[in-house]
Structures are given as C-alpha cells and as structure tokens.
C-alpha cells in the first residue's frame, strides 16, 4: 500500500506510539507484506527466525519487536506488537468500509452492463463493455478493465486469509490492498479472488477462469492463462503468462510457475517450477512420471 503522500519516520512512530531508529525525517512511502516489499515500504517482523529476511529485504523501514542493529540506509520502528501496529498503520491510511456505507466514487465505462443484484463497494473502477452477472460482489478499490465477463456469484476483493494465533484465538491481518482484473478476462461462476493484504491481486489480460476457483491475496496471474474448475492458489504466488492449470490443482503460498507451463489435474505445487508439464502430489515432470510408472508396472 502506498500512502497518498510521503510520511516521516517520526510521524509513523507517533501514530503507533513506538520508538524508532534512524533520522526522524526518514521518508516512508507505504507498507507491504514481506513477499511484496519495495524501497520506501514498512515491513513488519515479530519473530527472531525472520529478522534477517526482513532486515535484508527491499523494505527500508522495519517494524520490529526488538531493537537490533539497523542496516545502512534503513530505519527501524520498535514496537511491542508489530502485527497490531502494522494493522494500525494500514487502517489509518486506508479506511475499511466492508459494505457498511453507501456506494461512492464508482467509475463505470461506456457499454458496461451490471445486473441489478450485483453489489459494488467503494472506490471501484469498471471499464468499457464489461458484463457483470447476477449476485456478483465487487469489493472496495477493485479495478476491472474493458471487455471483461464476470459470471454469477463470483466475489472479487474478499479479505485475505492471513492470521496469527494469540491466546488461543485467531487475529486477522487486515487487508488494505485490492484486486485488479485486466482487459478481456473471463471469470466463471462462484469464483473467489481475495484482495491483496497491502498490494494487488492481479488477473492478467486475456486470462480465462472456469467456475469455483479460489485465488489468494497478492497473487499475480499472467496474461492468457487458462484455469480450470476447483483450482486453489494460495497467497503471493506468481503465475507466468500462458500457464494452464487443470482441475483441482493446488498451489502453496509464495511459489512461482514459469510462463508456458502446464499443470495437470490434481497436481500439488509446493515449490517454484520452471517451464514444463507437471503431474502428481509434488508436481513431478510429466515424462519422468510416465517413465517411473512404466518401471513400476514392469516389476516382477
């Protein structure tokens, strides 16, 4: 999430009541989740196991639960609860409506048709000649391009599935990102596409999604991808252009699939994949899998 205007380190520290390390006028441009950080971003970390990853990431402001040596050119915000204070920063700069207030700031392009039963949140942009079917829900800040088809009961911009456990209860990381649907995308019935935690979940131009597909927060789907029914993609995945995912494929969080790959039905993806065709619980190369099956069947 980028702030509407740059902030100062002391301003953010005062907002959350934290100590800081670095010049008080150190520039802060926004916040981001660890997989998506860019220079000028705040990233939070609340466990020593992940200190090095956060401190050495592209983020230049680290919201941390212990004062440590600050890398050159960076700054620290030292908090007793970084998770809580990350939420506090995000919701200070991005208001959460959750359909509790009347529609406003919605842009709809020429030739677009929206069924009267569709529900549209705040600060939504919809392009030209787009068709939105009955019972579609479009969450706050969603951006939809031209010539898009969104079929019935699909939800764009639901909350990210991102929690921690505190005192036996689950505590949500509040989602202040959005969903971007590029031009010429078709989305089937009953799909759910979560908004980014602090960035955008993106469906690339010309991609086609079948029915009942789940796409997690901050995932980026490339251009002209084909995704069959009941595929589940976790958060922060990167799917390259012209990738085909067949039915019931499952992709774990934070993985990348190279452009042009084909993932066959019911395959589980738990690592980055180079271009190829894959099958099986742990995404084996398809030709290797066939050779193995032949050997197994010929055993005596």
Same domain, 163 and 136: yes
Q: Within a domain: residue 44?
A: yes
For residue 300, tell me if it sits in a domain. no
Same domain, 114 and 150: yes
Q: Are residues 88 and 127 in the same domain?
A: no
pLDDT digits (tens, 9 = 90+) for 44-84: 999 999 999 999 999 999 999 999 999 999 999 999 999 99
Instruction: Give residue 49's domain range.
Output: 2-93
Sign, CA dihedral 78-81-82-85, equals negative
Same domain (yes/no): 89, 128: no
233 lies in the same domain as 196: yes
Q: What are the tens digits of pLDDT across the range 137-152?
A: 999 999 999 999 999 9
Query: CATH number, domain at 218?
Result: 2.160.10.10
pTM: 0.94
198 and 174 assigned to the same domain: yes
Evaluate if residue 293 carries a pLDDT over 70. Answer: yes
Q: Same domain for 44 and 138?
A: no
Q: Are 148 and 131 in contact (CB under 8 A)?
A: yes
Which tokens in the block code for residue 158? 């639901």
Do 67 and 189 lie in one domain? The reply is: no
Q: Could you read off the pLDDT of 201-240 as tens digits, one per residue? A: 999 999 999 999 999 999 999 999 999 999 999 999 999 9
- Let me know whether 172 and 251 are in one domain: yes
**What pLDDT does 300 receive?**
60
The strand ranges marked E within 12-160 are 19-21, 27-31, 41-45, 61-64, 75-78, 107-108, 113-114, 119-120, 125-126, 131-132, 137-138, 143-144, 149-150, 155-158
| Same-domain pairing of 89 and 14 | yes
- pLDDT confidence of residue 297: 84
In this structure, is residue 294 part of a structural domain? no
Last residue of a domain, one of 66, 93, 120: 93
Quote the number of domains for the chain. 2
Please list the active-site residues.
217
pLDDT digits (tens, 9 = 90+) for 235-283: 999 999 999 999 999 999 999 999 999 999 999 999 999 999 999 999 9
Residue 287 lies in a domain: no
Residues 163 and 271 placed together within one structural domain of the fold: yes
- Look at residue 210 and tell me if it is in a domain: yes
Inside any domain, residue 99: no
Q: Is residue 293 part of a domain?
A: no
The DSSP string of 86-121 is: HHHHHHHHS---TT-S---S-EE-TT-EE-TT-EE-
In a domain, residue 292? The reply is no
CATH number of the domain residue 58 falls in: 3.40.1390.10
Q: Are 274 and 256 in contact (CB under 8 A)?
A: no
Cα 262–Cα 149–Cα 212 angle in degrees, nearest 5 = 55
Q: Are residues 163 and 84 in the same domain?
A: no
């Amino acid at each position: 999430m980028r702030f509407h205007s740059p902030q100062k380190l002391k301003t953010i520290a005062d907002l959350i009541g934290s100590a800081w390390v670095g010049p008080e006028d150190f520039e802060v441009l926004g916040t981001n989740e660890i997989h998506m950080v860019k220079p000028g971003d705040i990233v939070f970390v609340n466990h020593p196991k992940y200190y090095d990853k956060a401190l050495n990431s592209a983020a230049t402001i680290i919201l941390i639960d212990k004062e440590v040596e600050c890398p050159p050119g960076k700054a620290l915000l030292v908090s007793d609860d970084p998770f809580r204070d990350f939420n506090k920063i995000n919701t200070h700069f991005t208001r959460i409506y959750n359909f509790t207030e009347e529609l406003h700031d919605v842009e709809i392009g020429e030739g677009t048709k929206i069924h009267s039963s569709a529900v549209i949140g705040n600060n939504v942009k919809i392009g030209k000649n787009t068709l939105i079917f009955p019972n579609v829900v479009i969450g706050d800040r969603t951006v939809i391009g031209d010539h898009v088809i969104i079929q019935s009961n699909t939800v764009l911009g639901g909350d990210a599935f991102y929690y921690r456990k505190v005192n036996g209860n689950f505590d949500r990381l509040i989602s202040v990102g959005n969903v971007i649907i590029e031009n010429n995308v078709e989305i089937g019935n009953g799909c759910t596409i979560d908004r980014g935690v602090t960035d955008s979940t993106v469906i690339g131009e010309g991609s086609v999604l079948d029915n009942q597909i789940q796409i997690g927060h901050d995932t980026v789907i490339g251009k002209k991808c084909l995704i069959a029914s009941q595929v589940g993609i976790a958060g922060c995945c990167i799917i390259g252009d012209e990738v085909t995912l067949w039915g019931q494929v499952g992709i774990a969080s934070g993985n990348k699939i190279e452009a042009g790959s084909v993932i066959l039905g019911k395959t589980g993806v738990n690592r980055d994949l180079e271009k190829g065709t894959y099958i099986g619980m742990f995404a084996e190369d398809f030709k290797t899998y066939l050779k193995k099956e032949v050997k197994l069947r010929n055993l005596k």
